[in-house]
Amino acid sequence: MRGIYTDLAAELRELSPDIKGVVEEKDADGEIEITRIGILDPSAARRIGKAMGRYVTLDARALSERPLDLFEAVEKRLATELAELLRRNGGKSTVLIVGLGNREVTPDSLGPRVVEGILVTRHVKQFVPEAFDFEAPGVCAIAPGVLGVTGVETMDIVKGVVERVHPDCIITIDALASRRAARISTTIQLTDAGISPGSGVGNQRAELSRESLGVPVLAIGVPLVVRAATIMTDTLSLMANETGLHADEEKLKQLAQSVCEKQLDDMIVTPKDIDAIVSDMAGIIANAVNAALFGKNLERVRSLIS
Amino acid sequence: MRGIYTDLAAELRELSPDIKGVVEEKDADGEIEITRIGILDPSAARRIGKAMGRYVTLDARALSERPLDLFEAVEKRLATELAELLRRNGGKSTVLIVGLGNREVTPDSLGPRVVEGILVTRHVKQFVPEAFDFEAPGVCAIAPGVLGVTGVETMDIVKGVVERVHPDCIITIDALASRRAARISTTIQLTDAGISPGSGVGNQRAELSRESLGVPVLAIGVPLVVRAATIMTDTLSLMANETGLHADEEKLKQLAQSVCEKQLDDMIVTPKDIDAIVSDMAGIIANAVNAALFGKNLERVRSLIS
Amino acid sequence: MRGIYTDLAAELRELSPDIKGVVEEKDADGEIEITRIGILDPSAARRIGKAMGRYVTLDARALSERPLDLFEAVEKRLATELAELLRRNGGKSTVLIVGLGNREVTPDSLGPRVVEGILVTRHVKQFVPEAFDFEAPGVCAIAPGVLGVTGVETMDIVKGVVERVHPDCIITIDALASRRAARISTTIQLTDAGISPGSGVGNQRAELSRESLGVPVLAIGVPLVVRAATIMTDTLSLMANETGLHADEEKLKQLAQSVCEKQLDDMIVTPKDIDAIVSDMAGIIANAVNAALFGKNLERVRSLIS
Amino acid sequence: MRGIYTDLAAELRELSPDIKGVVEEKDADGEIEITRIGILDPSAARRIGKAMGRYVTLDARALSERPLDLFEAVEKRLATELAELLRRNGGKSTVLIVGLGNREVTPDSLGPRVVEGILVTRHVKQFVPEAFDFEAPGVCAIAPGVLGVTGVETMDIVKGVVERVHPDCIITIDALASRRAARISTTIQLTDAGISPGSGVGNQRAELSRESLGVPVLAIGVPLVVRAATIMTDTLSLMANETGLHADEEKLKQLAQSVCEKQLDDMIVTPKDIDAIVSDMAGIIANAVNAALFGKNLERVRSLIS
């Protein structure tokens, strides 16, 4: 699986459709295709390269044209799926939102931008409890930055907060890598398996998961970059298949790899309007998280804390 | 001391020039006036309304015209004063920079913006120690956000990081309140007394100090707002003095106070070009902190980590 | 009228309620108070200090708490009023939106930010006319910057564009000055009298109006700053009234003026969360302008051009 | 030349090294390689795909590591080359800077960001001429936006300003496309041939040139994007050469082209830290332009207008 770089369970599943212990279900909601993948046991997890758990992928190709009504439909669907995962993973009296990524790097700024849109209530419930004459979780939200900018591992910052805040549940938001440029801006992945980027691709960032943090970790991610080298390698495979150049395929791939490494090293492939896409996606996710957490009390909460 | 709202030791000193246990020294460096105030004992601290420690205030009126050479002179002076405070407060093999304030509120975004300019080395020293064949502190830097946005007390986030990173010293950067609009953009305060906004003015943010965190806390601050109510009250006092309206002074003040509270509640007074001022000041402070920490190895560090 | 600085017809009207040739009507729409002022002749215009024309002021105090449903109600009302003014002022087959102000100065960035949210169609209608199988105006939108940043008078940039684009109508958006801090974030003024800041207050920026540009100029404005000196003077008048210090009133005012000029020169009074307020208001206005221009075809236009 | 997409004269020259009427000279300044290309006659211009004129390319591979001293060296060199081009192209008593591109799209925001750093003097010279007791050009600077955002052709906005400002010279700044990812952040092109993106690559934006505007147009550009399809095609050629698959080369290329068109349509390849690169480059160019225009009076101008 060298050369493959994706954070999407649905793409890994396509590459290895026959792994035992992985179940898959297709569903749809208007223009939104829903794929539910369950990775059921550790052996399946090892082979597919993702941690055990439920993965829900929402795909809406038409999102790339930014129609407001589809934005709303995706928001609603994501809120519903998230509420369901929250229900399955126990209580939500205190929830910690963690916006991962680097605010100063556009395609990596999704997490911090979502955090800006979250309705934060924990401090109000703590200091002015009488303000809440209705049920509402205590929500807090941090954007811990990235190791290269802070010099501190994300895990260390999150763990410190978890020890003081004692959340029942953590929801992380992060930009993902995909194999296909077309996924950018049109796909959202939701999982209760935490974030474990290290499992298949050699990224050393420590995983944020129920194991490492002691509470359920739900993760929302959106593919926003494709590594240039990944696109290249994939396209070459496709070409080799179509030309029937099977004899040379291996050689071609190796060549491609070496050329890519030299030329494309740290390069990413991204749509020209990535700034607008990140902004739209951050809005959709923040709205969906707020809706999933506060339900019918959403507007009361909003007017309370603004 | 009701109605007074300032974070500057030098302004508090002017209001109470005769408190015992407070020492003051004036100095100058070209166009920069330097005031060194020492608050020597707890009783003096209580009476003046600031924690015990050294306070160095740099004043450079001409800064408001943004001449590049004065920027550099202030950078250099601040670096020298900070290096001296670091020396007095023990080691600096690991230093944690904490940028306080709210990135999304311009006059409050100084701290987070300084953090963006800090040269962060801790992770490189940890993961690639052989890269450093010269002495350099391990520097890390976080911007924990503010309670109203994160729902988590700043103190809780900082303490969590301190427990994992074990710094020898913390340097905080924050926007301050002043009594005088003219201070905005022209004054920098440096202290080894930590940040204790609660001491005189009823702000409940927990103090970041050697007492609360177990390591020395140096604080760099720049006045960037004046509360509208403060300016009003001060101006009225001045007027009462000049008109000789002594009989009515008290009445006037009370009236002013009540008018201000109704009309000016959460209002701040700020120069029109505050965006540019914050940006300039963030640059000066980041450069000064980098220079104080890395000294003659500054450029080697910069090229190592970029 | 020295010391008064406001761009709002409704505030000028309050100061001079008895001027002949000025008509006023109150109206309401849910939580939105509507004031319609007509300045009917040149003599009235001169005396009140605003150009002849219709002025519609929407006031919604509750906006300061940012409830989403009131945002929507204000959007709708503004769209309706703007559509009515467009109808009265002739055709709208080509419309030029002009976002006035300085993008880099938060309270002055309203205009440029609204421009970012406008659905621009002129170039599509010109180059791909077949894309529009329904009625829609050709909309274009510029943010010409401010004299201090470009070195070119706004009027010169706008006039150059008008000569090439030949719009039927211009809609400008700008931040306004008010006399009262409470107006910030809660008031929108709409007028067909153009922007003529020079009329009452000595600002030399050339007016953008039907006279100077040859086409109707509608102007949308939101009070986002109060000059510090204005607040001071107003509060003093109030105090003098309440204390009955009539003998000293004149003297007090003069004193206040001189103190303000020294201390508060270029200072503005603004709420702490001005960044968020400008962002909200820019969204409301952009949505309202889009709705007024495209009516029931709004969503078709949006999906066509994104 | 299908599939080739570059704005760099030096890259076009490499592709067609034998065209008559093109002269080339290599030079160096420390770590900076300088290539001077002259396109001498219309026939050469047509064949190479760039307008007649001088093209100076500065290449500094080490720039990608962001050493401050190299930043300064490049600034100085660019200022010298620009001053020389200004001298050859006649007077500079009034100069118009035009920052091309879309501020909201990071890799396309170079031009607007440079404009923010330009020292603008025209309005001061016009309204307060006595402030200048020394020689200095009247400089003005606009960022006209892009057709897709304004609905107005850049040419129309610039022409309107030129007719009112009557500059002796125009300097445009723009992001360029290159064929090689390695060029991003390390190359600057300077030319007196204006901007004529339409000449070889089917881009319909009207050219800004002495012919179209009536005054000399100098253009500064930095490669900040590589079209994904370009990288793909180039890499395939390379591979075909290395494998000796000459028989299949044409077929491979066609296939690559069709795959790219489907998958990579509007995608660009860009380094992950493009936000920081654009910011650095904007600083270098603004400083160089200011230095070329104001020479030894630079600091006097800066303090005059800030």
Assign D204 a pLDDT band (cuts: 50, 70, 90).
very low
- Residue A174, helix vs strand vs coil: strand
Mean pLDDT of chain B: 86
Question: Is the pLDDT reported for residue A105 higher than 70?
Answer: yes
Q: Report the residue from A65, A299, A303 with minimal CB separation from C303.
A: A65
Question: Is the pLDDT reported for residue B73 higher than 90?
Answer: yes
Contact A182, B185 (CB under 8 A): no
CA geometry: angle D20, D23, D29, nearest 5 deg: 160
Domain-located, residue B238: no
Output DSSP code: residue A295.
Answer: G
Contact D60, D186 (CB under 8 A): yes
Cβ contact D66–B302 (<8 Å): yes
Cβ contact B161–A159 (<8 Å): no
Instruction: Give, in order, the Cα–Cα distances in Å from D214 to each of B167, C155, D162.
Output: 63, 22, 9
Q: How far apart are CA B120 and CA A102, in angstroms?
A: 14
Domain-located, residue C196: yes
pLDDT digit string, tens, across residues D269-284: 888 888 889 999 999 9
- The shortest C-alpha distance from B158 to chain A (Å) reads 8
Assign A247 a pLDDT band (cuts: 50, 70, 90).
very low
- The shortest C-alpha distance from D145 to chain A (Å) reads 15
Domain-located, residue A239: no
Q: How far apart are CA A297 and CA A290, in angstroms?
A: 10
Counting the structural domains of chain D, the total is 1
Give the E-state strand segments of chain D in sequence order: 22-29, 32-39, 53-59, 94-99, 138-142, 169-177, 187-191, 217-227, 267-271
pLDDT digit string, tens, across residues D104-136: 888 899 999 999 999 999 999 988 889 888 989
Percent of chain A at pLDDT exceeding 70: 84
* Token pair 């006097």 in the structure block, residue: D300
- The shortest C-alpha distance from C120 to chain A (Å) reads 15
- Residue A148, helix vs strand vs coil: helix
Q: How far apart are CA B286 and CA B171, in angstroms?
A: 11
Range of the domain at A276: 9-226+272-305
A163 to chain B: closest CA residue? B160
Q: Report the residue from A123, A150, A157 with minimal CB separation from B151.
A: A123
User: Cβ neighbours of residue B51 under 8 Å, at least 6 residues apart?
Assistant: B39, B45, B193, B194, B196, B199, B207, B209
Cβ contact C306–A65 (<8 Å): yes
Cβ contact D161–C164 (<8 Å): no
Contacts of C151 in chain D (CB under 8 A): 120-123, 138-141
Mutate to test the interface with B, among D31, D65, D186 (most CBs of B within 10 A): D65
Of C263-267, D179-183, D256-260, the range with the highest mean pLDDT is D179-183
C69 to chain A: closest CA residue? A299
Instruction: Give, in order, the Cα–Cα distances in Å from D171 to each of B299, D38, D108, D216, D219.
Output: 33, 19, 17, 8, 6
Percent of chain A at pLDDT exceeding 90: 55
What's residue B3's pLDDT?
47
Cβ contact C235–B181 (<8 Å): no
Find the chain B residues whose C-beta atoms sit closer than 8 A to any C-beta of C: 104-108, 180-182, 225, 228, 231-232, 235, 238-239, 242-243, 245, 248, 251-252, 255-256, 259-260, 263-264, 266-276
Assign B1 a pLDDT band (cuts: 50, 70, 90).
very low
Question: Is the pLDDT reported for residue D154 higher than 50?
Answer: yes
**CATH code, domain with B300:** 3.40.50.1450
Cβ contact B142–A157 (<8 Å): yes
Question: Is the pLDDT reported for residue D170 higher than 90?
Answer: yes
Question: Is the pLDDT reported for residue D202 higher than 60?
Answer: no
- Give mean pLDDT, residues C44-49: 90
- The shortest C-alpha distance from B306 to chain D (Å) reads 6
B277 to chain D: closest CA residue? D306
With CA atoms as reference, report the closest residue to B256 among B228, B232, B240, B231: B232
Count CB pairs under 8 A between chains A and B: 86
Assign D253 a pLDDT band (cuts: 50, 70, 90).
low
Contacts of A247 in chain D (CB under 8 A): none
pLDDT digit string, tens, across residues A136-179: 999 999 999 999 899 999 999 999 999 999 999 999 999 998 87
Domain-located, residue C236: no
Domain-located, residue B253: no
Mutate to test the interface with B, among C234, C272, C274 (most CBs of B within 10 A): C272
Domain-located, residue A140: yes
The ipTM value here is 0.87
With CA atoms as reference, report the closest residue to D36 among D21, D47, D48, D24: D24
- Residue A261, helix vs strand vs coil: helix
pLDDT digit string, tens, across residues B14-36: 888 889 999 999 999 999 999 99
Contacts of A299 in chain C (CB under 8 A): 67-69
D65 to chain B: closest CA residue? B306
- Give mean pLDDT, residues A36-64: 92
Domain-located, residue B163: yes
- Give mean pLDDT, residues D166-177: 94
D80: buried, middle or exposed (CB in 10 Å: 19+, 13-18, 0-12)? middle
Assign D239 a pLDDT band (cuts: 50, 70, 90).
low
Instruction: Give, in order, the Cα–Cα distances in Å from A43 to each of A46, A56, C64.
Output: 5, 20, 55
Domain-located, residue B188: yes
- Give mean pLDDT, residues B215-219: 96
Cβ contact B180–C263 (<8 Å): yes
